[in-house]
Amino acid sequence: MHLKAGEYCGLCGISGFSGDSVALVAEGLLALQHRGQEAAGVLTCSDGKMKLHKRKGTVSEAMSNIPSSFSTGRNEAVMGHVRYGTYGGGGVENAQPLMVSMAGFQIGIAHNGTLTNARLLREELHRQGAIFMTNTDTEVVLHLMSRNLEQTGFNIREALEIALGRLQGAYCFLLMTPDGLYAVRDPLGFRPLNLGRFEEGGWIIASETLAFDVCGAEYLREISAGEILYIPHDTFDPESERFSSGANLFRNRTGLAQCIFEHVYFARPGSRVFGDSVYTTRLAMGRQLAREYPAECDVVAPVPDSGMFAAMGFARELGLPFDMCFTRNHYVGRTFIDPASANRATMVMRKLQPIPEAVKGKKLCVVEDSIVRGTTSRARIRALREAGATEVHMRVSCPPHKFGCYFGIDFPEPSKLIARNYSIEEIAAQLELDSLGYLSKEGMLSCVRAHDPCDYCTACFDGEYPVEPPEYSAEYNGYKCHI
């Protein structure tokens, strides 16, 4: 089993809502579908009894055959998950939420992030006799809790806190017990998690605030880094406490390590992430990019969809025309997060096709959110030239990717990152560009407002990992993580 960044997923949970919370969670998951298309599932709790439904595929596919009994009667809480996973494989057994019986208690869990010491924890638990039903790093948490239950007098919250102290890496959890719903965010805050409230009563927790909008809820705040938020089924009054994680090796870091790539690419523009509007941040990145690397061109064109708002900011800053030079097939998934890498080359042209009338005879500046491997960019640039573009320049709204991510983003091995192996001039030549410019790290960080720029993880650009990264080991045929 080869450990690399994965488990880039989306979470949505509702507690204390008097209406059909299953339907609302499904709507929330649809809003988060961009965070994972491999599998989806929901877990309900009614009168202390839990029911689980999960399937491979998109939310629509997974929820199309959900039993009507899931929405019958009132559920105290419902939580759901959309999955994109490279750690553990794509079988339905690895889909989430996971539900287990633990010392007579039913417990469910859903996870966004990557536990970088999962392999070593699994080996330790195997030696102690643990039997794993999945290959996911998430199941490790349940086994750690189970080991702690007896010594805590079967106090689930205390068992959870002890388990959290063993974890290293990035994680947001939703945890359901017969007594309540827990939301947990790791002490460095790698992944986003937010709290909202329904006007008619009840609470919602989601990876992105866009889920609140589609569910008719009001955004309240972020779940803080290092926070356990507990909503008991009997009162539905949230209780908050801090926890510490002894296994996270902070490498002299005193702030947070929020993933800046949420703003660059992953999150949807209608969301607030880490307190900032994704829309506003991407516009600002485009404006800053124009200040750093302007282009002499006839028209500025985005690579839809994630490059859209950076391109708008770029064009506005320079006073250049903005036009759509690609048409997108919305029935094709995002190529970046497609688990079947063998299909990537085919999906590139299925997804975006040039518009000859918008391209022919023009000098184009194409604004892209990122260049990772370079294969998709090369195919698109060639297509633009074949459609009649006289020049193609490219501007990228983040710095060059030179390092792997081990905290929840599926970047390939560093050796496959084009910027790791070539200079910017060489990349431009390989991609058949007339010019290429990247946004600087300082310029990118200047575009966030709600947190200090030092509170962002930029390791994929500069190699400054906030947590000790894993090392390759021939013995494991993969990455052996530190503890």
C-alpha gyration radius of the chain: 23
26 vs 141: CA distance, rounded Å? 25
**Tell me, what amino acid is at 79?**
M
Phi, psi of 160 (to 5 degrees): -65, -45
Which residues does residue 124 pair with via DSSP β-bridges, in sequence order? none
Tokens of 69: 């009994």
Q: Say which residue the tokens 């983003």 belong to.
A: 409
185 vs 190: CA distance, rounded Å? 8
Which residues does residue 136 pair with via DSSP β-bridges, in sequence order? none
Answer yes or no: 447 catalytic. no
B/e letters for 197-223, b = 16+ CB within 10 Å, e = fewer, are: bbeeebbbbbbbbbbbbbbebebeebb
Contact 4, 479 (CB under 8 A): yes
Helix (H) or strand (E) holding 310: helix 308-318
Tokens of 82: 């959309």
Neighbours of 92 (CB within 10 A): 14
The catalytic position among 9, 325, 457, 460 is 9
Look at the alpha carbons of 292, 293, 298, 300 in this order and tell me if their dihedral is positive or negative.
negative
> How far, in Å, are 177, 182, 392 from residue 226 at the CA level?
20, 13, 46
Spatial CA neighbour of 208 closest among 363, 11, 75, 388 = 11
60 vs 148: CA distance, rounded Å? 38
> How far, in Å, are 63, 125, 147, 166 from residue 129 at the CA level?
36, 6, 11, 18
List residues with catalytic annotation. Answer: 9
